């Protein structure tokens, strides 16, 4: 089971939802980098279960224990290893899923692929719980990028068919992209956020769930990060973001809307500005030919509704070979996209910093 991403800044994630702990090993961090552990903990707290109406009631502090790679908060050149101890697992909620797979979840395909040896409790290694160690790596990458003048932030762009205000594709800065993450509910327009929360609560009251879209931006990127064809900036970011459970779509800039535009509308014209070429627009989302343009990198991730719901659904009994109906127990987010906002930031930061190291801009 491969759970590693990155070349120069590589991240390996280990553990299961209900195992003793979950964690990551990060290789490639240059030595001598001071990591603000308080800032990292604040970032992890944004993803952690909060007991709010839009999150699971599972209680996890998500405080990482660093086993290596840091000496007095400074990277020493060795691989960085961190673990988060699981403290509030209720594995008994999942016993029936070994024979009756949840619609929309990985239970059935995992049973076939791993021959019944997989950990079913809490979804095992397929659980969104594994995004916590991704946020350790991504939170560190965000700090290292900020040293280079690159800032990554995200907001909940849509949930339950309610849209937030949108960032313009040009002219946004560090304050714009960081502001939603300082709020309890990570949106630009708080009135839109309140409407989202009402819609999520209504679905939860019915035992159902809803999907959403997270919009992420990286500002301050220099021109020239990424490679053409298969090693492009879009490729790297998309691969990292698709590693987040429940992501079903990724787009950059105008994304799928570009299919309904003319070239004269979608192209980003050039003009000279202070003696250098500049873009009049940023429909490309900061990337051309797989390479950064210097404009804001804008990426959106579409999240499906949480598959674990409390409405009775059709399933099968894998041992008896018969049709059954499944009524779930357990604790589940009614909208995973809310807590996924910092996770998308983390995935984007990991991919971007890996390519920054490749370009040797942080050496």
d(CA 265, CA 38): 45
Q: What is the CA radius of gyration of the chain?
A: 21
- Within-domain flag for 351: yes
Residue ranges of the binding site for FMN? 125-127, 289, 304-308, 331
Looking at residue 117, what is its pLDDT?
84
Domain interval for residue 21: 4-358
Number of domains making up the chain: 1
d(CA 298, CA 238): 12
- Within-domain flag for 196: yes
Sign of CA dihedral 288, 27, 10, 182: negative
Residue 329 has which token pair?
């127990």
Write the CATH number for 121.
Answer: 3.60.150.10
Looking at residue 58, what is its pLDDT?
57
The answer to whether 236 and 356 have CB atoms below 8 angstroms apart is: no
What does the pLDDT profile of the chain (363 residues) look like in tens digits?
679 999 999 999 999 888 889 999 999 999 999 999 999 999 999 998 766 666 665 567 799 999 999 999 999 999 999 999 998 655 556 667 778 999 999 999 888 898 888 878 778 788 899 999 999 999 999 999 999 999 999 999 999 999 999 999 999 999 999 999 999 999 999 999 999 999 999 999 999 999 999 999 999 999 999 999 999 999 999 999 999 999 999 999 999 999 999 999 999 999 999 999 999 999 999 999 999 999 999 999 999 999 989 999 999 999 999 999 998 877 788 999 999 999 999 999 999 999 999 987 444
Residue ranges of the binding site for NADP(+)? 47
Q: What are phi and psi of 125, to 5 degrees?
A: -80, -5
d(CA 82, CA 140): 12
Sign of CA dihedral 228, 136, 84, 34: positive
Q: Which helix (H) or strand (E) holds 362?
A: none
The answer to whether 226 and 286 have CB atoms below 8 angstroms apart is: no
β-sheet bridge partners, residue 154: 216
d(CA 279, CA 209): 41
d(CA 210, CA 203): 7
pTM confidence score: 0.94
d(CA 144, CA 48): 22
Looking at residue 363, what is its pLDDT?
44
- Within-domain flag for 230: yes
- Within-domain flag for 36: yes
Looking at residue 362, what is its pLDDT?
42
- Within-domain flag for 363: no
- Within-domain flag for 234: yes
Q: Which helix (H) or strand (E) holds 317?
A: strand 313-317
The answer to whether 343 and 301 have CB atoms below 8 angstroms apart is: no
Largest Cα–Cα distance in the chain? 74
Query: Which residues are within 8 A (CB) of 175 and not within 5 positions of it... i.e. 6 or more apart?
Result: none
Residue ranges of the binding site? 47, 125-127, 289, 304-308, 331
């Amino acid at each position: 089971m491969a759970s590693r991403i990155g070349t120069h800044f590589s991240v390996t994630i280990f553990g299961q939802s209900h195992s003793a702990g979950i964690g990551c090993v990060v290789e490639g961090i240059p030595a001598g980098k001071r990591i603000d552990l308080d800032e990292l903990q604040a970032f992890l707290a944004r993803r952690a279960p909060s007991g709010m109406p839009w999150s699971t009631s599972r209680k996890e502090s998500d405080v990482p224990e660093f086993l290596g790679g840091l000496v007095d908060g400074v990277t020493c050149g060795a691989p960085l290893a961190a673990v988060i101890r699981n403290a509030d697992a209720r594995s008994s909620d999942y016993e029936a899923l070994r024979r009756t797979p949840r619609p929309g979840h990985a239970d059935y395909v995992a049973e076939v692929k791993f021959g019944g040896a997989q950990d079913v409790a809490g979804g095992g290694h397929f659980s969104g719980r594994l995004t916590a160690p991704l946020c350790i790596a991504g939170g560190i990458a965000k700090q290292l990028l900020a040293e280079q003048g690159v800032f990554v932030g995200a907001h909940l762009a849509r949930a339950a068919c309610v849209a937030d205000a949108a960032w313009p594709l040009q002219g946004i800065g560090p304050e714009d992209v960081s502001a939603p993450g300082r709020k309890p509910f990570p949106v630009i327009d708080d009135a839109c956020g309140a409407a989202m929360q009402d819609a999520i609560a209504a679905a939860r009251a019915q035992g159902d769930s809803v999907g959403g879209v997270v919009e992420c931006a990286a500002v301050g990127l220099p021109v020239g990060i990424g490679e053409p064809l298969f090693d492009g900036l879009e490729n790297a970011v998309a691969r990292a973001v698709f590693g987040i459970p429940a992501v079903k779509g990724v787009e950059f800039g105008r994304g799928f809307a570009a299919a309904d535009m003319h070239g004269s509308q979608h192209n980003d014209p050039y003009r000279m500005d202070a003696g250098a070429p500049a873009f009049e627009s940023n429909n490309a989302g900061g990337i051309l030919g797989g390479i950064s343009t210097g404009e804001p990198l804008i990426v959106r991730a579409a999240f499906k509704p949480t598959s674990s719901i409390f409405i009775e659904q059709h399933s099968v009994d894998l041992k008896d070979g018969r049709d059954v109906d499944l009524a779930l127990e357990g604790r589940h987010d009614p909208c995973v996209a809310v807590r996924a906002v910092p996770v998308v930031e983390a995935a984007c930061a990991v991919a971007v910093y890996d390519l920054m190291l490749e370009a040797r801009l942080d050496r």
